[in-house]
A and B are shown apart, each in its own frame.
Chain A
Amino acid sequence: MSTTTGKLLEQPPHYVRNYPRFIWWALGESTNGNWLFYLWMFVLTCVALVGANAWAVQVADGMIVTNMTDHVSWGLYIANFTFMVGVAAGGVMMVIPAYLYHDKKMHDVVIVGELLAISAIVMCLLFVVADLGRPERFWHMIPGIGRFNWPMSMLTWDVIVLNGYLLLNLHVCGYLMYMRFLGQQPNPRWYVPFVMISIFWAISIHTVTAFLYCGLGGRPFWNTALLAPRFLVSAFVAGPAFILILLAILKRLPGQTIDAGPSRLLINIIRVTILTNLLMIVSEVFTEFYSGGAHTASTMYLFLGLHGFDALVPWIWTAIAFNVIAAAIFLSPRIFRSTPLLIVACLLAFVGSWIEKGMGLIVPGFIPSTLHEIVEYLPSLTEWKVSAGIWALGLMVLTVLLKMARTVFNDAVAETPVP
């Protein structure tokens, strides 16, 4: 393998002509692996196919196959979408120390965060498409041929920032990997500005996503200025938590040398953000319950149940318990020594913020409805299938991207059988 790579390097071909070829080559390389890799991809493919089938049925038969109603008009899809935007934004937490504070140790793993962001954005876009009643009319949103209600609709802002973030990260990752492949020193002019933009952009994707909800005056549960900061903070819990799990997995793969520095930094970041997140939840809950009034209905429904309806109560208390336990583990010094403990803490934090931001934030915004009717919501089997399918596809994308990066960054990789 190294010989072919060397051959390519001897005759440096034209840049534009061969960047796609490089991608193609790296994609090909990423399909090599051991039986564990093939099993992993096979399982993901199966889940993704089940999801694709469920979605196709949903498009043909109508959204009646979901459990959404005119009262709870957004459900599991938009919940997952919101959470994944957070994960994508959280990926940037690798970038800030690496580039803003010139932490050289971070440079090697920064690409992990960016690849995670790419996969997360792909999932976000898929979740939005899954939520559309008429996905084939998607072109109505394309500026020029359709009608793009920008700048008034926050959804159009979200479309812009999400796709922009996707392009930014594709460019940065692709460029860095290509330069590494060519054995050249990356030219800062071609990537540093984009990295800087992507830092602000990461904040913007989650702020805009929060504005999607908090701009709605008719939904008191969302109509709070704290929503965007809360989104960001919980994103900076979930994103780094996922990266920590990834790093722990990568570290176990042969031929991998990953410095402990980035992990330490990420743990320290989570130590701050997880507490800030809890503080924000507490202040929201305090504001709602201490003053009371009709405004409190959704919060009441979420935490204690309302008029005998309490479908979400177990969800939110699970999330709170997970977040509190994770916070306690993260604050303990043992987190630096015990990898299993770290994994447990990261999983708890990740699942906790998934519930809190998904089922715990999107659904109670609709309960009670604007006419104060209570219609409860739990996802249908179709919704679970489609969501699982999108998760599987996202993990496939992430696996392929990480393998591409490994192929490029470890020259010797082809000789060692790697998963």
Chain B
Amino acid sequence: MNIGTGNPDQKNTSLPILGQPTSRRTALKVAGAALGLAAFGKAISPLMAIPENVSVDEFLQQHYKELSDDDKTAIFARLEKETREDYGADVKISDSRPIPGVKFGYAISLSKCNGNGKCMEACNQENNHHRGVDQSYIRVLEMSKGSLDMDQGNTTYDHTVPQDDKYYMPVQCQQCDNPPCVTVCPVEATWKEDDGIVVVDYNWCIGCRYCEAACPYHARRFNWEQPEIPAEEMNPDQGYLSNRVRPQGTMEKCHFCLHRTREGRLPACLEACPTGARVFGDLNDPDSDINWVLKNKRVFILKEDLGTRPNFFYFFD
């Protein structure tokens, strides 16, 4: 189809195509090709939205691990500006790094959790989730007593909780030591940091969703569209690798609120839990609450047989 569209070789008489007896046919072909090209240009014209939404700086931005401090300053400033333009909210993007020697662990008491879902709500607000679908990194399963089979579970219950014959199991990213999502990523857009948190560089992810297929805990979420967040609900305390507004077409996941926890604060879902079912802390500190749970409670991890080695624990009192 692309014959005769401005090729430099056209004038060369040794080219048999020009030696054809019927120049009418060639002219028709050229016309057809031109028409085809024009139609193609029209067909893909919605792509013109890309240069509007993706600046050259963003397009050429390097992987997080290769950014210098100056790069980061410039990028964070650009992202803050974009958030102001697109959402009308003034935010501050920071880059909290792992605390040396700290490895985070999280535990939930299934005896206490009553499935009220405040953790999901807190996650939604803290992490600037898409309000249109009330997105959250947490799902709470209502499980049948006497079974750990998730096939007996249900996330969409909306009755008074807790029900007598049920128990409730929140599931979020397990921050595995052997994370399948990190292994499968073709571009290293997701990786495990020194404190055990698996993060995503939202500006490097190509959106192939292989990690979402690989994760056994339904911990990953894809931005099917640009998230909607009202300016007054925007959490201005943002981390580059955590709760900043994520771009359309990229993957995101629970990051243990690293913009809080790496500053020593508790995660938002823990503070929001009305039943006190959640325990968070440093696995490397022998006196931490989380280590007390591991030593003194009957602890289990989800899908242990898969060898993912989670840093997220469940226990019964």
A-to-B contact residues, CB < 8 Å: 1, 4-5, 7-8, 21, 24-25, 27-29, 31-32, 41, 45, 49-50, 52-53, 55-57, 59-64, 66, 68-71, 73-74, 128, 131-138, 140-141, 146-149, 152-156, 159, 212-213, 215-219, 294, 297, 365-366, 368-373, 396
A370 near B250 with CB under 8 A, answer: no
B213 near A216 with CB under 8 A, answer: yes
In the complex with contacts A70-B222, A73-B209, A217-B307, A372-B17 CB distance below 8 A: no
Nearest-neighbour CB distance to chain A for B279, whole angstroms, equals 22
Alpha-carbon distance between A253 and B16 when the two chains are bound, in angstroms: 24
Question: Is B226 close to A, CB under 8 A?
Answer: yes
Question: Is B31 close to A, CB under 8 A?
Answer: no
Alpha-carbon distance between A152 and B211 when the two chains are bound, in angstroms: 13
Closest to A296 in B: B151
Alpha-carbon distance between A365 and B187 when the two chains are bound, in angstroms: 24
Of the stretches B37-45, B75-83, B116-124, B267-275, the one at the interface is B37-45
B-to-A contact residues, CB < 8 Å: 1, 3, 7, 9, 14-17, 19, 25, 29, 36, 39-40, 42-47, 49-50, 54, 59, 63, 139, 141, 149-151, 153, 155, 171, 180, 183-189, 204-210, 212-218, 220-226, 247-251, 303, 306-308
The residue that A365 contacts in the complex, of B29, B36, B213, B224, with Cβ under 8 A, is B213
B189 near A140 with CB under 8 A, answer: yes
Closest to A24 in B: B9
A140 surroundings in chain B (CB, below 8 A) = 63, 187, 189, 204, 206
Count A/B pairs, Cβ under 8 Å. 205
In the complex with contacts A56-B47, A133-B206, A136-B50, A70-B187 CB distance below 8 A: no
B150 near A372 with CB under 8 A, answer: yes
B248 near A133 with CB under 8 A, answer: yes
The residue that B303 contacts in the complex, of A7, A152, A218, A368, with Cβ under 8 A, is A218
Alpha-carbon distance between A363 and B279 when the two chains are bound, in angstroms: 37
B210 near A217 with CB under 8 A, answer: no
B250 surroundings in chain A (CB, below 8 A) = 133-134
B248 surroundings in chain A (CB, below 8 A) = 62, 133
- B180, B212, B308 interface centre (most CB from chain A within 10 Å): B212
In the complex with contacts A28-B15, A134-B249, A371-B207 CB distance below 8 A: no
The residue that B1 contacts in the complex, of A45, A64, A369, with Cβ under 8 A, is A45
Alpha-carbon distance between A56 and B46 when the two chains are bound, in angstroms: 5
Closest to A158 in B: B186
A156 surroundings in chain B (CB, below 8 A) = 186
A217 surroundings in chain B (CB, below 8 A) = 180, 216, 306-308
A71 surroundings in chain B (CB, below 8 A) = 218
B16 near A371 with CB under 8 A, answer: no
Closest to B247 in A: A134
In the complex with contacts A133-B250, A294-B149, A56-B44 CB distance below 8 A: yes
In the complex with contacts A25-B15, A218-B215, A70-B221 CB distance below 8 A: yes
The residue that A53 contacts in the complex, of B14, B17, B44, B141, with Cβ under 8 A, is B44
Closest to A216 in B: B214
- 14 A-B interface contacts by CB (under 8 A): A25-B16, A31-B1, A61-B46, A63-B222, A73-B222, A134-B207, A136-B50, A136-B54, A147-B63, A218-B180, A294-B149, A297-B151, A371-B217, A373-B155
B303 near A64 with CB under 8 A, answer: no
Alpha-carbon distance between A302 and B308 when the two chains are bound, in angstroms: 27
Nearest-neighbour CB distance to chain B for A204, whole angstroms, equals 17
Alpha-carbon distance between A140 and B206 when the two chains are bound, in angstroms: 8
A155 near B186 with CB under 8 A, answer: yes
A1 near B46 with CB under 8 A, answer: no
In the complex with contacts A73-B212, A155-B210, A24-B184 CB distance below 8 A: no
B216 surroundings in chain A (CB, below 8 A) = 217-219, 370
B16 surroundings in chain A (CB, below 8 A) = 1, 4-5, 8, 25, 28-29
A133 near B46 with CB under 8 A, answer: no
Alpha-carbon distance between A154 and B250 when the two chains are bound, in angstroms: 20
Alpha-carbon distance between A219 and B303 when the two chains are bound, in angstroms: 12
B206 near A8 with CB under 8 A, answer: no
A21 near B306 with CB under 8 A, answer: no
The residue that B209 contacts in the complex, of A59, A133, A136, A213, with Cβ under 8 A, is A133
B186 near A148 with CB under 8 A, answer: yes
5 tightest Cβ-Cβ pairs between the two chains A and B? A133-B207, A218-B216, A133-B249, A28-B17, A62-B225
